[in-house]
Chains A and B, each alone.
Chain A
């Protein structure tokens, strides 16, 4: 039912990576809340030293999965290993190597930025003077020195996120969980968080990032698992995921919305493509499947443009590219819905 990139197919040949190179390995992980199978048999293999994106809509089970991996929730079934350590039986060994920045700021709002960092540094075993120094350095690196002596409740959303991530890297973790790190942030703060993630992974830390924004997974992650209803519905590199829904897509904007239906018909005929009408009344998207013809996607698109011009349809803009992760996601969740 799902293209070959699926991670749930038991008949799939063995994983390409040895377990020693994996930061996370789960097998048939399950968490049930009452009647709700929040996580319903997830298999993950996260290579060390990369950003791994877990993508899914609200309620897909992302946070629940992360909480089990971070030892906050006990799995109801299956196994999960972090750097080879079992998250239930060897929880303390796991805790010493991971950090979690949860979806809701996990710092104390009543305390100042400095106090929060000193508190956590002390709990990690740093001496008083080391804790103070590390807190000051982190606040400086995160650009928060001016707010260091203010209670966190006065921080903006972006600042909270930053102090929260700073708290997670007091000891450089081997694995950092970021649960929806940019939800609710403005574009500037979001870009700052992305820069931080890139800096963290550049130093060798593995990052598991959950997000509902395809853009974010596209920007940061090297491999992505798409989760819906507690299951992995697709897994692979960005390229693999995109290739799984077609070799490319053509985006068109017409001058006259009246001509859209005619354009749709012509595109479907000349490109043998699956054409979607976008919410914008002058825009439409054709997904090109290069596999059943010997023509390249660009060639097909050129012929389609010529056909449109012959019919007197004015095209204002035209773009040919790989499908966006948005399209991938819609395609995957549609397929699942259709076969369920």
Chain B
């Protein structure tokens, strides 16, 4: 705990001074690995839950067993971290600096869909593999064609919407819900793309969208939105939301006592802080992502995450982030030298043994991911996914007590 706080303080001090912070391994030969992601700005609240702690865990584990085996010798990882301030321009500059100035051997993926798309050209141009985690898009095909070093692991927009619609269909078939759906979205790239994908899919599946509104990012009072949704008398409530509004909409739903059988909020529903804040009221809430915490490998990862970083992993992309790092690790060791084109090819050709089971890529896309999870008795469990084991049954949301 103490170590963690000194480390965090150091990070903070470095940030305050606007400097980068690197953890250098002592002595011996090292392999330089660069990471750029938000440590400040709007996405920092998410990346400090999902992204950075898992990187910290991975580096400490690899160095704990003596480093990576490259060129026949064990090399400790020297991690160089930069804050992109949640600004794509800063992000590109930092990646450029890592490549030209720091001369890193490998780059870790960015955080957030927009940042992956912004960074893909510079990764591709310099031949660095980009094993994306927190990037969800329906443009996977065209992106991977354009950027031959880019890989996707977290799924597509339509798979995420599709998972939700599957749940609605099951409940409608069982007679639990009717066909009235209230839908809101944050007026930001992610929310707009999700809502645009959901609208025709809901309509084709025979649902009536009785409330369909967007709200600006950072709206201080979401109660008019919730009052409007409630007045439309929906059976299900879907919100394509970002972290602050995921919490805000849930609070508004508790206050308004929104009586729906399905309550869905998107990003950050899988954060441990969500269950921590709402306790029993969170029970039955469904959200983007999911994991199988009962799987022994996932359980071991979650425990190590807690032990090393002092904070719990989220119930979604934390595990995927670790998987991406495992893929890079195995590819680097599999090739045996820092030959980046060969490493990229290795990722395309091989199957990787990860904490989420075996992962391989078809046209640079892995079809193994969780799309929907649900809070059940204090744990956010995966309920829908693609090629994943351990999905539990969906429970009907009953009230906010």
Do A and B actually bind? no
Chain A residues in contact with chain B, CB under 8 A?
A: none
